[in-house]
């Protein structure tokens, strides 16, 4: 019963957060100075009349909500307008119907764009995260077990160096190295215009395009996992029950796997949950260095162009993914550490 | 064997596999030219596109009545011949025969009339309807004859029609009404141009195939691939490693290194679509402030003496050397030197002379009365401290901002520099006039009319005039040049207008940047690198190049 209440409480909190983000998203981007009809374009051909007509096409000529005509600059309006004919309620109505609108900038349905971009980003950042997690946990555990040896110092120094490296710079170095010496592709997801004998070759082409960006991602994230894993593992390894396990004659692998890892996993779960949430936001720097058509790049572009439908859709997706992975982490916590359920 | 040696082996095997597979991953695609660029079209719909990359693609896939050549002149495209009525208000165009769209359907005068009326009837198209503003009606008299009636005779009909792409009525017809036209994706992009759309992956690449049945000069290559490589350094590396055959832009810092690379040639020249970088000085008079606008500009900027002193205090050559590493020429007015014959070669620039700038300010009564190094205005005593804004997406503005701040500090003028998001900057700029000085620029049209309009009084309330400059003499000349059909007389009017705005120091134009592009010589030959204007990715260049084995390397 307590567990059930715990779960319901967490799910309710998550739902409330998403609802809050829904409303915030709508106003947040309208507070920004600027106008989607102009979209940062500076061209004498874009006349005032055209801007007014474009605003009407986007539905931006309607009041934002009852009592507010515009948010930036703030212009108050009538409270008596039909609420169903305001931008806010049109946004909510469309959202409830699963319609995120058409991107102002890309002229395509936002749902379609997000699906495309999200897939690309998850493929790239997800692979990097999984690799980093596996290597990080293993290396952190080994470093802690071999504490104060060359392996430990090597892992520690290597991690600190990797952690301090700017992602953009590391990406550029790997890009120059990989393209020059390994003949790897400079950017993109597939080789334009290439024809493949079979689907396997086509998949291999994508894998080759992923090598450098995934390597960059892995190096950037692995350090974090190594450092956290090593520290928590050192704490755990100093516990009496580890000494008991050693005394029982268990192998190193058994001690690490069955006795130490589960107890050292809690902080890692937190970090993974946070990182996975932000995975959806993409690693914008890596996406730009390697011209990877991901979500991070799309969000940046949408902010510049004041593409409200795309921004609203993308930020909703981000919020949902962060909230969802946090919820998942909470649930995992309650499994890993039963005390959390009753706390 | 220890665990570590196994790990080392695994890494080595993966590296070898990657190396073995890597070589074939970017093999040249037949005789298709691979162009790397940092941008990508925003949309495949010509009605709503705003980015120049989109217009490059439209220029290859669609046809227009005239084509812009690499010497800046206009040649006949779809039109075989044309006549004008005596008053210049009725233009009759006869189309070439046998022109077909890529899907095999014939291109007729009805498609032309449909397209022009589509542009004219939609106020919500950002750019293209500006070219049909003076069209009263467009009709197809028969399959090959188009009759355009104008509201007034135009001096620049060629430049108006050179961007009006002819769309197939049988595809666009169902999407012509209301918002459907703007919302039409047009991913198939069926046109009639020398290249046809094969594959469009937004933000990744565009693959075009040669139209071997094209009615004018046919491409000698199989196709063109435009690949988006968002990072400029990566773009340079892609050229070096042979992953692309040409790149449309190069950061100035990479020029020297690329120039020394065997098998790679640099091309430098006046860009086909020149851009102007300018220093905007807010000089809006309070009585001309549009209703609802803030108009918070520093009052001293309304004084020509101060603007003149700023011009004398700006070392343009130093800006060119530092910011562009020498790849530019000092600027004069908004009409760039690449816009021949409209660029006024008679004009003499205000030389960089700090003593003269200080003398002008002293004589005009701007003195540093409190000894803080900043002059104050005569009368009000307001210090010459100016907000200096720049767009955050500009690569040249940060360097320029530092340099002009240093230069102007030597004449007792202080700046408060701030980088702003371009849209926020537009909101502050015009018609709000909520700024003092902005480092910005314009994209230019092959015809000077649009840029000259940026200084006309009519455009103050619309935001088209960004400085607030107003001069009845200039306004009169602007109206006259727009309808003057005699090229020589129009040129004189345009030159006179440049003299006026230069005399009044409406803008300070620091430089006209040169285009820098680079290409490989191993796969293709016949590059139009020495044409009067440089745009290796444009139609005229792409039609000229040949596979290296067939052409002259």
Read off the pTM: 0.87
Name the region of B458 (left: φ>0; alpha: ψ -120 to 50; beta: rest): alpha
DSSP state of B458: G
Do residues B284 and B512 touch, judged by C-beta distance below 8 A?
Answer: no
Chain B interface disruption, residue of A183, A288, A301, most B CBs within 10 A: A183
Short-list B133, B76, B146, CA closest to B107:
B146
* Cβ-Cβ contacts under 8 Å, B30 against chain A: 193
Across the interface, which of B124, B185, B199 has its CB nearest the CB of A53? B124
Q: At what angle do helices B232-240 and A167-181 cross, to 10 degrees?
A: 10
Q: Tell me how far apart the 2 most distant CA atoms of chain A are, in Å.
A: 84
CA A231/CA A253 separation, integer angstroms: 18
- Per DSSP, the residues of A260-285 read IHHHHHHHHHHHHHHHHHHHTT--HH
DSSP state of B545: -
pLDDT at B194: 97
* Cβ-Cβ contacts under 8 Å, B130 against chain A: 45-47, 50
| Residues 6 or more apart in contact with residue B392 via CB below 8 angstroms | B419, B420, B421, B422
CA B11/CA B27 separation, integer angstroms: 26
Q: In the block, which residue shows the tokens 């300070």? A: B508
Q: Is A44 on the interface with B (CB under 8 A)?
A: yes
Do residues B517 and B239 touch, judged by C-beta distance below 8 A?
Answer: no
| Residues 6 or more apart in contact with residue A297 via CB below 8 angstroms | A117, A282, A284, A287, A288, B203, B230
Using 50 as the pLDDT threshold, list the residues of chain B that sit under it. 1-26, 28, 550-553
ipTM for this prediction: 0.85
Residue A179 tokens, joined: 């393209």
Using a 10 angstrom Cβ sphere, with 0-12 exposed, 13-18 middle and 19 or more buried, the burial of residue A158 is middle
Q: Is A182 on the interface with B (CB under 8 A)?
A: yes
pLDDT at B178: 87
The verdict on a CB contact (< 8 Å) between B25 and A183 is: yes
Do residues B454 and B278 touch, judged by C-beta distance below 8 A?
Answer: no
Chain A interface disruption, residue of B17, B25, B257, most A CBs within 10 A: B25
DSSP state of A239: S
pLDDT digits (tens, 9 = 90+) for A308-340: 899 999 999 888 888 888 888 888 877 777 776
Q: Is A177 on the interface with B (CB under 8 A)?
A: no
Query: From B448, which residue of chain A is nearest by alpha-carbon distance?
Result: A44
pLDDT at B275: 80
SS3 B517: strand
Across the interface, which of A54, A204, A205 has its CB nearest the CB of B124? A54
| Range of weakest confidence among A54-68, A263-277, B450-464 | A263-277
The verdict on a CB contact (< 8 Å) between A184 and B22 is: yes
pLDDT at B21: 45
pLDDT at A224: 87
Query: Checking DSSP bridges between strand B32-37 and strand B246-247, what pairing results, if any?
Result: parallel
pLDDT at B5: 44
Across the interface, which of A46, A107, A204 has its CB nearest the CB of B45? A107
CA B507/CA B505 separation, integer angstroms: 5
pLDDT at B109: 97
pLDDT at B251: 85
Mean pLDDT estimate for chain A = 86
What backbone torsions phi and psi does residue B380 show, to the nearest 5 degrees? -70, -25
Measured over the CA atoms of residue B373, residue B375, residue B379 and residue B382, the dihedral's sign is: negative
Do residues B214 and B25 touch, judged by C-beta distance below 8 A?
Answer: no
The verdict on a CB contact (< 8 Å) between B464 and A204 is: no
* Cβ-Cβ contacts under 8 Å, A184 against chain B: 18, 22, 25
Query: From B275, which residue of chain A is nearest by alpha-carbon distance?
Result: A43
pLDDT digits (tens, 9 = 90+) for B89-137: 999 999 999 999 999 999 999 999 999 999 999 988 988 988 998 999 9
| Chains A, B: CB pairs < 8 Å | 204
A26-43: average pLDDT: 79
A202-207: average pLDDT: 93
Q: What are the contacts of A161-170 at 24+ separation with CB within 8 A?
A: A161/A223, A162/A219, A162/A220, A162/A222, A162/A223, A163/A220, A163/A223, A163/A224, A163/A227, A165/A219, A165/A220, A167/A216, A167/A220, A167/A283, A167/A285, A167/A286, A168/A285, A168/A288, A168/A289, A170/A216, A170/A219, A170/A220
A286-302: average pLDDT: 89
- Residue B113: C-alpha distances to residues B102, B109, B137, B143, B164 (Å): 19, 6, 9, 11, 11
SS3 A19: helix
What backbone torsions phi and psi does residue B218 show, to the nearest 5 degrees? -95, 145
* Cβ-Cβ contacts under 8 Å, B443 against chain A: 42-43
A88-98: average pLDDT: 90
* Cβ-Cβ contacts under 8 Å, A106 against chain B: 42-43, 202
Across the interface, which of B22, B185, B223 has its CB nearest the CB of A108? B185
Do residues B92 and B98 touch, judged by C-beta distance below 8 A?
Answer: no
* Cβ-Cβ contacts under 8 Å, A41 against chain B: 50, 126
Distance of CA A329 to the CA centre of its chain: 15
Using a 10 angstrom Cβ sphere, with 0-12 exposed, 13-18 middle and 19 or more buried, the burial of residue B281 is buried
pLDDT at A281: 66
Do residues B387 and B436 touch, judged by C-beta distance below 8 A?
Answer: yes
Short-list B530, B498, B39, B536, CA closest to B276:
B498
The verdict on a CB contact (< 8 Å) between B127 and A291 is: no
The verdict on a CB contact (< 8 Å) between A187 and B124 is: no
Q: How many CA atoms lie within 13 A of B373 on its CB side?
A: 6
Q: Is A202 on the interface with B (CB under 8 A)?
A: no
* Cβ-Cβ contacts under 8 Å, B42 against chain A: 105-107
CA B11/CA B17 separation, integer angstroms: 10
Across the interface, which of B42, B238, B240 has its CB nearest the CB of A106? B42
The verdict on a CB contact (< 8 Å) between B237 and A42 is: no
Task: Provide the pLDDT confidence category of residue A145 given band limits of 50, 70 and 90.
Answer: confident
Task: List the Cα angle B240/B395/B462 in 5-degree steps.
Answer: 135
Q: In the block, which residue shows the tokens 């007015």? A: B333
Task: Provide the pLDDT confidence category of residue A83 given band limits of 50, 70 and 90.
Answer: confident
Do residues B128 and A54 touch, judged by C-beta distance below 8 A?
Answer: no
- Measured in angstroms, the CA of A48 and the nearest CA of chain B are apart by 5
- Measured in angstroms, the CA of A175 and the nearest CA of chain B are apart by 8
| Residues 6 or more apart in contact with residue A107 via CB below 8 angstroms | B42, B43, B44, B45, B48, B182, B183, B185
* Cβ-Cβ contacts under 8 Å, B21 against chain A: 204, 208
């Amino acid at each position: 019963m307590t567990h059930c209440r715990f779960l319901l409480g967490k799910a309710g909190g998550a739902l409330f957060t998403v609802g809050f983000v829904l409303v915030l998203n709508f106003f947040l981007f309208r507070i920004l100075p600027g106008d989607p009809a102009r979209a940062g374009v500076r061209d004498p051909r874009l006349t005032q009349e055209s801007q007014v007509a474009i605003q009407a096409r986007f539905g931006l000529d309607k009041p934002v909500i009852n009592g507010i005509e515009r948010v930036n600059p703030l212009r108050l309006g009538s409270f008596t307008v039909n609420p169903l004919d305001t931008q806010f309620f049109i946004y909510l109505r469309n959202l409830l119907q699963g319609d995120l609108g058409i991107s102002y900038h890309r002229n395509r349905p936002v749902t379609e764009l997000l699906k495309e971009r999200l897939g690309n980003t998850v493929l790239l950042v997800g692979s990097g995260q999984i690799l980093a997690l596996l290597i990080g946990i293993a290396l952190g555990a080994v470093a802690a077990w071999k504490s104060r040896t060359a392996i430990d110092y090597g892992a520690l120094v290597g991690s600190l160096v990797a952690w301090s490296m700017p992602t953009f710079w590391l990406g550029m170095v790997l890009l120059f190295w990989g393209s020059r010496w390994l003949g790897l592709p400079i950017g993109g997801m597939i080789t334009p215009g290439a024809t493949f004998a079979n689907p396997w070759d086509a998949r291999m082409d994508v894998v080759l395009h992923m090598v450098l960006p995934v390597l960059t991602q892995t190096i950037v994230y692995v350090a974090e996992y190594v450092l956290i894993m090593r520290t928590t593992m050192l704490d755990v390894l100093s516990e009496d029950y580890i000494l008991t396990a050693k005394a029982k004659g268990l192998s190193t692998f058994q001690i690490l796997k069955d006795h130490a890892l589960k107890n050292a996993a809690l902080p890692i779960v937190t970090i993974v949950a946070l990182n996975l949430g932000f995975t959806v936001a993409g690693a914008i720097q890596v996406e730009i260095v390697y011209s990877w058509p991901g979500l991070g790049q799309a969000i940046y572009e949408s902010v510049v162009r004041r593409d409200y439908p795309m921004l609203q859709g993308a930020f909703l997706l981000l919020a949902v993914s962060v909230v969802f992975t946090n919820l998942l982490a909470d649930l995992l916590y309650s499994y890993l550490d039963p005390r959390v359920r009753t706390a | 064997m220890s665990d570590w040696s196994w790990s080392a082996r695994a890494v080595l095997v993966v590296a070898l596999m990657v190396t073995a597979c890597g070589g074939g991953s970017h093999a040249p695609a037949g005789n298709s030219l691979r162009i790397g660029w940092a941008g990508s079209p925003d949309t495949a719909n010509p009605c709503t596109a705003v980015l120049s990359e989109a217009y490059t693609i439209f220029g290859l896939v669609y046809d227009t009545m005239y084509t812009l050549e690499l010497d800046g002149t206009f040649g006949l495209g779809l039109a075989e011949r044309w006549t004008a009525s005596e008053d210049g208000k009725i233009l009759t165009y006869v189309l070439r025969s046998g022109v077909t769209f890529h899907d095999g359907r014939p291109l007729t005068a009805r498609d032309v009339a449909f397209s022009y009326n589509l542009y004219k009837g939609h106020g919500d198209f950002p750019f293209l309807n500006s070219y049909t503003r003076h069209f009263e009606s467009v009709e197809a008299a028969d399959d090959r004859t188009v009759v355009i009636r104008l509201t007034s005779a135009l001096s620049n009909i060629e430049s108006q029609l050179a961007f009006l792409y002819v769309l197939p009525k049988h595809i666009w017809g169902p999407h012509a009404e209301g918002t459907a036209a703007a919302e039409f994706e047009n991913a198939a992009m069926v046109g009639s141009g020398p290249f046809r759309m094969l594959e469009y992956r937004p933000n990744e690449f565009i693959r075009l195939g040669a139209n071997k049945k094209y009615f004018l000069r046919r491409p000698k290559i199989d196709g063109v691939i435009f690949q988006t490589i968002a990072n400029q350094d990566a773009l340079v590396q892609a050229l070096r490693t042979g992953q692309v055959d040409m790149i449309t832009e190069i950061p100035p810092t990479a020029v020297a290194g690329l120039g020394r690379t065997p098998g790679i040639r640099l091309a430098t020249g006046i860009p086909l679509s020149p851009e102007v970088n300018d220093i905007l000085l807010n000089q809006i008079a309070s009585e001309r402030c549009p209703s609802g606008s803030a108009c918070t500009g520093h009052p001293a900027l309304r004084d020509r003496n101060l603007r003149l002193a700023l011009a004398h205090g700006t070392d343009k050559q130093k800006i060119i050397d530092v910011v562009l590493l020498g790849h530019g020429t000092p600027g004069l007015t908004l009409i760039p030197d690449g816009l021949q014959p409209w660029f006024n070669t008679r004009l003499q620039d205000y030389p960089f002379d700090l003593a003269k700038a200080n003398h002008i300010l002293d004589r005009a009564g701007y003195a540093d009365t409190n000894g803080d190094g900043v002059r104050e205005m005569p009368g009000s005593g307001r210090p010459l401290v100016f907000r200096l804004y720049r767009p955050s997406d500009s690569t040249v503005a940060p360097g320029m901002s530092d340099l002009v701040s240093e230069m102007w500090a030597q004449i007792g003028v202080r700046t408060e520099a701030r980088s702003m998001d371009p849209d926020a900057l537009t909101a502050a700029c015009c018609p709000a006039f909520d700024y003092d000085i902005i480092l910005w620029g314009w994209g230019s049209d092959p015809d000077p009319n649009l840029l000259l309009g940026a200084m006309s009084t009519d455009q103050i309330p619309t935001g088209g005039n960004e400085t607030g400059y107003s001069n009845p003499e200039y306004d009169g000349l602007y109206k006259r040049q727009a309808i003057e059909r005699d090229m020589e007389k129009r040129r004189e009017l345009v030159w006179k207008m440049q003299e006026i705005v230069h005399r009044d120091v409406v803008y300070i134009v620091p430089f006209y940047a040169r285009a820098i592009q680079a290409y490989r010589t191993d796969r293709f030959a016949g590059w139009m690198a020495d044409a009067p204007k440089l745009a290796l990715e444009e139609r005229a260049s792409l039609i000229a190049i040949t596979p290296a084995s067939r052409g002259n390397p």
